[in-house]
Structure 1
Amino acid sequence: MFPMRFQPFIFAFIMSGFMAFLMSGILTFINLGWFDAFIVAWLKAYLYAHACAFPLVFIFAPLSRKITAKLVKADTRAA
């Protein structure tokens, strides 16, 4: 396993991987429809998407956390 200090990098890599995989597949299908080489086109789009998404998730995750913290009210009720 990895030390805790790598958590932000690992999170960004996994999250961007999931999002890039799903979004590249959806957008490939929307733009090109289903065709014989669909999977190849999807995987090629995924490689480009993940290369872009990884640094973007890493950069914008702190901002997203800050905005979320301002939008979500802490529950002060006792459990």
Structure 2
Amino acid sequence: MKPFLPKRLEPYAFGLLLSGMMSFLVSGMSTALAAGVHANFPQLWLSAWLPSWAIAFPSVLIVAPFVRRVLSRIVRSN
């Protein structure tokens, strides 16, 4: 695939993909533990994942700068 996003959008694309993948995995595990895996599981999982992603994406964008600042104080450069 040929790159198509401008560099200035990279942090937003990163946040979108990271929050999507993480919320997908966590909501799937939580749904499986709470409701079990059965025929209706994919629909139940999707109904849990989409609202989770809607909260996870802006959260990642807000929290990421704070995490970068904390890491800049605790990670040593060699």
State TM-score, norm by structure 2.
0.90
Give 1 or 2 for the bigger CA radius of gyration: 1
Gaps of 5+ in 1: none
1:1-79 aligned at under 5 Å gives the runs 1-75=4-78
**SS of residue in 2 equivalent to 1:74:** coil
Identity %: 37
Q: CA RMSD in A?
A: 0.9
4+ residue runs of structure 1 moved beyond 6 angstroms? none
State the AA in 2 paired with 1:35. Answer: H
Gaps of 5+ in 2: none
CA distance in 2, matches of 1:48, 1:42: 11
State the AA in 2 paired with 1:45. Answer: A
The structural deviation recorded for 1:67 is 1.0
